[in-house]
Amino acid sequence: MEEKRKTVTSTEVKRRYNQKVYSQISFSAPKELVEEFRGICRNIGISQASVFKKFIADFVEKYR
């Protein structure tokens, strides 16, 4: 039985896909607040991005 070859998606392909599908939001917050936020995310095992995605989705749903 032949083993399937693994293929590697190039960084360039991923970058183009992300540019096509995603937008970025940037904001500033006090360093102490950011450090605490990052620590909490790390401690409970969730990604920082997932917190913002959930908040934005809930916000849009509420005010749509």
Domain membership of residue 18 (yes or no) is no
Domain membership of residue 39 (yes or no) is yes
Task: Give start and end residues of each alpha helix (H) in the chain.
Answer: 11-21, 31-44, 48-63
Domain membership of residue 55 (yes or no) is yes
pLDDT at 10: 86
Domain membership of residue 12 (yes or no) is no
Those residues whose C-beta lies under 8 Å from the C-beta of residue 51, and which sit 6 or more positions away, are 37, 41
Structural domain count of the chain: 1
CB 41, CB 48: distance < 8 Å: yes
Q: Give the domain range for residue 59.
A: 28-64
* Structure-token match 């749509």, residue found: 64
Domain membership of residue 44 (yes or no) is yes
Q: What is the pLDDT of residues 9-57, one digit of tens each?
A: 788 889 999 999 999 999 999 999 999 999 999 999 999 999 999 999 9
The residue with greater pLDDT, 4 or 64, is 64
Domain membership of residue 15 (yes or no) is no
6 has pLDDT over 70:
no
Domain membership of residue 4 (yes or no) is no
Q: Above pLDDT 90, what percent of the chain?
A: 77
5 has pLDDT over 70:
no
